[in-house]
Amino acid sequence: MNIILKEDIPSLGHKDDIITVKDGYARNFLIPKGLAVNATASVRRMHEEILRQRSHKEEQIRKKAEAIAEKMKELKLTIGAKTSTKGKIFGSVNTIQLAESLKEEGFEIDRKDITIKEELIKEIGSYTASVKLHKEVKVDIPFEIIAE
């Protein structure tokens, strides 16, 4: 039986895949649980239309993310931190401070989309963070930690 998956199922397929499974598996497990629908001719036509519209929207979102990435490449952030006389930071600098600094520059980025190359930043210096704007678009941002 041909079915269209409604969500990712490990070892079977990804969302929106059209696959062939045994009739009993589809009728007794996948379809009643809402994991799949029967791939009749009318459902396939609707599915193709939905995928075409979704790909168009995805393309627009990706282009916006690339435009933001181009603006962010020129960015150089400086973050102030309280330090000791030896240059050690009290506490550490993390993605929250980076997200706040990006917000001050006019970029509304969620802190969960920011990853710092180093695990913990405990000293003054220059570092690099990676910002994920889209599943295909990432940009590296250099930032510097200075003493307040």
Domain chopping of the chain, boundaries: 2-64, 69-147
SS3 124: coil
Inform me whether the pLDDT recorded for 3 exceeds 90: yes
The C-alpha atoms of residue 128 and residue 142 are separated, in whole angstroms, by 4
Alpha-carbon torsion (85, 97, 77, 104), positive or negative = negative
Cα angle 61, 74, 113 (rounded to 5 degrees) comes to 45
Highest mean predicted confidence (pLDDT) among 20-24, 105-109, 123-127, 128-132: 20-24
pLDDT-based confidence at residue 31 (cuts at 50, 70, 90) = very high
Check: pTM over 0.85? Answer yes or no: no
pLDDT, tens digit, 9 for 90 and up, residues 44-94:
999 999 998 888 888 999 999 999 999 888 888 888 888 888 878 888 888
25 pLDDT tier (thresholds 50, 70, 90): very high
What pLDDT shows up at residue 80?
87
Query: Can you name the CATH fold of 69-147?
Result: Ribosomal Protein L9; domain 2 (3.10.430)
Q: Is the pLDDT of residue 119 over 80?
A: no
What's the CA gap between 25 and 82, in Å, rounded? 61
pLDDT reading at 14 higher than 80: yes
Closest CA to 15 of 43, 47, 59: 47
**Which CATH number is correct for 2-64, 2.60.120.380, 3.20.20.120, 3.30.420.40, 3.40.5.10?**
3.40.5.10
Distance CA 106, CA 57 (A): 24
